[in-house]
Amino acid sequence: MSAPNSDYDPVEVTPLHPDEIARMRDEALAAVAAADSVAALKQVRIDHAGDRSPLALANREIGALPPQARKEAGQRVGQARGAVTQALAARTAEVESAELERALEAEKVDVTLPTDGRRPGARHPVTTISEHVADIFVAMGWEVAEGPEVEAEWLNFDALNLGPDHPARTMQDTFWVSPEQAATVLRTHTSPVQARTMLTRKPPIYVVCPGRVFRTDELDATHSPVFHQVEGLAIDEGLSMAHLKGTLDHFAQAIYGDGMTTRFRPSYFPFTEPSAEMDLLCYVCHNEPADVASCRTCKGEGWVEWGGCGVVNPRVLTACGVDPERYSGFAFGIGLDRTITGRYDIADLRDLFDGDVRFTEPFGVEL
Ligand code: DAH
């Protein structure tokens, strides 16, 4: 049996000397205590608790000790490392909460303060033109009438002499509201407001009604399942087609300027007799021989369709409780979207319905 190797004294493994371990631990604890940010603590963790820290290196030396010395040295190093780990955890919690406090203080927002950073909005051109149209008629002594967008089938069709077999009543053209027995549609035009007005007021009646209407159209650059019309209705004694023409001429000039010329073409609507389509002289080429052929707006026609109109059919007066022997009247329905896209040369109708504020902003507040 060989004697213990008297040359080998564990005390001489310097890194494992109790004083040395205590020094490493105290240095580490001092560094932890001095660290005042999460970043500084990260560095302290690397320097004093990482794989290459003095205590980790000391730990590796334990294996070189004789077995009987390993336990004590192991305990000493383990306790020192434990103390450093604990101190790191405690300090990290402290520093993190201090940093959070600081951030909350620095980024504090007083939501009650008044702000001047509000971005002014802009009115949608459909709103602006609807109000402009209403103003033009109110200035002539007319009133503004309203009706619901979800409308009774009877008012949308029957009262206006659109019989049960009329093609406009099919599913292909009209949004029907279920259940079928409810006999309710999304109004396909603003004309039911005529019927509503006659049923609730006594003549003389002079009303305009700008509003939203619905048809089962595709959505593309020139069609939309929702669009806007303005309806007009005048009922009085002695009204004729001449009053209609004078009114619409004035209306066109109020919108497009004094030189605007209109044209009537014979047409058919079940609720008017006679009926006409009204066209505007093309506001781009003015039907000038040199420009008309290449004009994109009127497509070489020289005229742009504006809407339908006519003398109110006596059958409609009767259905709505107005005496056709005493009263007569005229009515019109004009597309507002076309009026806007034409006037501002907007190529894609969808821009009017997308609700993108970047489209609306250039229109500002006034049309
Ligand atoms: N309601 C018709 C349409 O949507 C437009 C119209 C034509 C309205 C003639 C009228 C009118 O009041 O008299 O196509």
Annotate 5-37 with b (16+ C-beta within 10 A) or e (fewer): eeeeebeebebbbeeebeebbeebbebbeebee
Ligand 1 pocket test: which of 198, 217, 247, 271 has the largest number of ligand atoms within 8 Å of its C-beta? 271
Answer whether residue 181 is part of any domain. Answer: yes
Same domain? 223 vs 146: yes
pTM above 0.85, yes or no: no
Euclidean distance between CA atoms 125 and 361, whole angstroms? 10
Q: What are phi and psi of 15, to 5 degrees?
A: -60, -20
Answer whether residue 259 is part of any domain. Answer: yes
pLDDT in tens, 326-358: 999 999 999 999 888 877 778 888 999 888 888
For ligand 1, atom 2, name the residue with the nearest CA: 333
Calculate how far, in angstroms, residue 57's C-alpha sits from the geometric centre of ligand 1. Answer: 94
Calculate how far, in angstroms, residue 285's C-alpha sits from the geometric centre of ligand 1. Answer: 27
Among 54-68, 277-291, 303-317, which is the least confidently predicted range?
A: 54-68
Euclidean distance between CA atoms 58 and 49, whole angstroms? 12
Same domain? 192 vs 298: yes
Answer whether residue 225 is part of any domain. Answer: yes
Same domain? 146 vs 23: no
Calculate how far, in angstroms, residue 228's C-alpha sits from the geometric centre of ligand 1. Answer: 12
Answer whether residue 142 is part of any domain. Answer: yes
Calculate how far, in angstroms, residue 310's C-alpha sits from the geometric centre of ligand 1. Answer: 8
HSE-CB of 105 using CA atoms within 13 angstroms: 6
Banded pLDDT at 40 (limits 50, 70, 90): very high
pLDDT at 6: 47
Name the range with the highest mean pLDDT among 19-23, 173-177, 206-210: 206-210
Same domain? 99 vs 43: yes
Same domain? 217 vs 95: no
What is the pLDDT averaged over residues 163-172?
Answer: 78
For the record, the structure tokens of 109 come out as 């927002």
For ligand 1, atom 5, name the residue with the nearest CA: 333
pLDDT in tens, 143-159: 999 999 999 999 999 99
Count, residues in the chain: 367
Ligand 1 pocket list (CB less than 6 A): 189, 191, 231, 269, 271-272, 308-310, 331-333
Burial of 286 (0-12, 13-18, 19+ CB in 10 A): middle
Instruction: Kindly tell me if the per-residue pLDDT of 175 is higher than 80.
Output: yes
Same domain? 22 vs 94: yes
pLDDT in tens, 234-287: 999 999 999 999 999 999 999 988 888 899 999 999 999 999 999 999 988 999
pLDDT at 82: 94
Calculate how far, in angstroms, residue 308's C-alpha sits from the geometric centre of ligand 1. Answer: 5
Instruction: Kindly tell me if the per-residue pLDDT of 169 is higher than 90.
Output: no
pLDDT at 1: 44
Atom of ligand 1 nearest to the CA of 308: 7
Same domain? 49 vs 139: no
CATH number of the domain bearing residue 325 = 3.30.930.10
Average confidence score pLDDT of the chain = 90
Same domain? 341 vs 270: yes
Total number of domains in the chain: 2
Determine contact, residues 214/279, Cβ cutoff 8 Å: no
pLDDT in tens, 79-130: 999 999 999 999 999 999 999 999 999 999 888 988 777 777 788 899 989 9
What is the pLDDT averaged over residues 310-321?
Answer: 97
Answer whether residue 313 is part of any domain. Answer: yes
Calculate how far, in angstroms, residue 191's C-alpha sits from the geometric centre of ligand 1. Answer: 6
Angstrom distances, CA of residue 31 to CA of 34, 144, 184:
5, 81, 80
Residue 40: how many other CB atoms lie within 10 Å: 15
Determine contact, residues 266/276, Cβ cutoff 8 Å: yes
Same domain? 309 vs 358: yes
Atom of ligand 1 nearest to the CA of 231: 12
pLDDT at 148: 98
pLDDT at 13: 63
If one compares 243 and 364, the residue with the highest pLDDT of the two is 243
Answer whether residue 196 is part of any domain. Answer: yes
Answer whether residue 117 is part of any domain. Answer: no
pLDDT in tens, 209-230: 999 999 998 888 888 999 999 9
pLDDT in tens, 58-70: 888 888 888 888 8
**β-sheet bridge partners, residue 210:** 230
pLDDT at 367: 40
Atom of ligand 1 nearest to the CA of 307: 5
Asked which of 57, 73, 106 is the last residue of a domain, the reply is: 106
For ligand 1, atom 7, name the residue with the nearest CA: 308
Asked which of 106, 141, 170 is the last residue of a domain, the reply is: 106
Query: Structural domain of residue 38, as residue ranges?
Result: 10-106
Calculate how far, in angstroms, residue 272's C-alpha sits from the geometric centre of ligand 1. Answer: 8
Same domain? 131 vs 220: yes
H/E element, 264: strand 262-269
Same domain? 165 vs 203: yes
Answer whether residue 56 is part of any domain. Answer: yes
pLDDT at 10: 46
Calculate how far, in angstroms, residue 154's C-alpha sits from the geometric centre of ligand 1. Answer: 16
Euclidean distance between CA atoms 40 and 42, whole angstroms? 5
pLDDT at 94: 94
- Which is nearest to 199 in space by CA: 159, 228, 232, 236? 159
pLDDT at 25: 94
Same domain? 189 vs 53: no
